[in-house]
Structure 1
Amino acid sequence: MAVSPQVSTELWDEFHRVVNMTSRELREWLSVDAAGEQTEELPDKSGRPTGRQVLDVLGKRRTDLTEDDVQVMQRVCDIVRSQRPPDLDPKAGGADWRRSLMSIGHDPLKPS
């Protein structure tokens, strides 16, 4: 994985705006969401791949991001933008909608 040339300020800012869960909140959510009645995944393997990638990005400095990280950042911004338009009431979606967004670091019920 090569280091990305430069992450735009717009993408960097948007990503950190839409990912409104802290690393700790996201890590805990991924562990809880992945746990079943009889099983529990290892902490570094729990949750959806995109959620784990978001955790990786949150743990990096802007200068350490790879091209893969930039693609994840863009994909997460696109997903949140499409699933949660600015005028959408935070409670307008169902539980699955919220769980899906939380799996990538966005809690629609968290105040902005």
Structure 2
Amino acid sequence: MAYSEENKKEAYDKFEDLVNMSASEIEKWLKTDESKAVGQDSGDGESIGRKSAKHIVQILKMKKQDLNEDDFHHIHKVISYISRHSAQRPHGDVSKTDWLYSLKNWGHDPQKK
């Protein structure tokens, strides 16, 4: 799918709003046991969310003008996941929940101000 320049701008702006962890914060998070413990297996022992996080880190380190169609496809996937998963917030303290850990694997920390 080819994205228009307007679509790319809207998607990137939304991505910047939702992905509130820096590349280094995500890389540090990926080293934790909590990160490794959640998510649907992608078929090779690593979760889909952890693979997504690695692509998010690449996107965050790139210049916006250097992003390709595959990167924008992933940006749309990230926006969709974070939006959908955020709406499923459990009641009470979420600080030690799979819900939180999963969102952080997608670059979003809902506890971050």
Q: Distance in 1 between matches of 2:28 and 2:53?
A: 11
Shift of 1:8: 2.1
TM-aligned CA distance change 1:31 to 1:70, over 3 Å: same
Report the identity percentage.
Answer: 29
Structure 1 residue ranges, 4+ long, deviating more than 6 angstroms after superposition: none
**1:1-112, aligned counterparts within 5 Å?**
6=5, 8-32=8-32, 33-34=35-36, 48-85=50-87, 93=94, 95-111=97-113
Please tell me the root mean square deviation across aligned C-alpha atoms, in Å.
2.6
Q: Structure 2 regions of 5+ residues with no counterpart?
A: 38-48
Q: Distance in 2 between matches of 1:9 and 1:76?
A: 15
In structure 2, what residue type is equivalent to 1:73? I
Cα pair distance change 1:30/1:22, threshold 3 Å: same
Residue deviations 1:24-48 (CA, integer Å, cap 9, x gap): 111100122349xxxxxxxxxxx81
**Unmatched 5+ stretches in structure 1:** 36-46
- Count residues in correspondence: 95
Distance in 2 of aligned mates of 1:91 and 1:72:
31
The alignment's TM-score, normalised by the length of structure 2, stands at 0.72
| Contact map agreement 1:91 1:109 (CA 8 A) in 2 | no
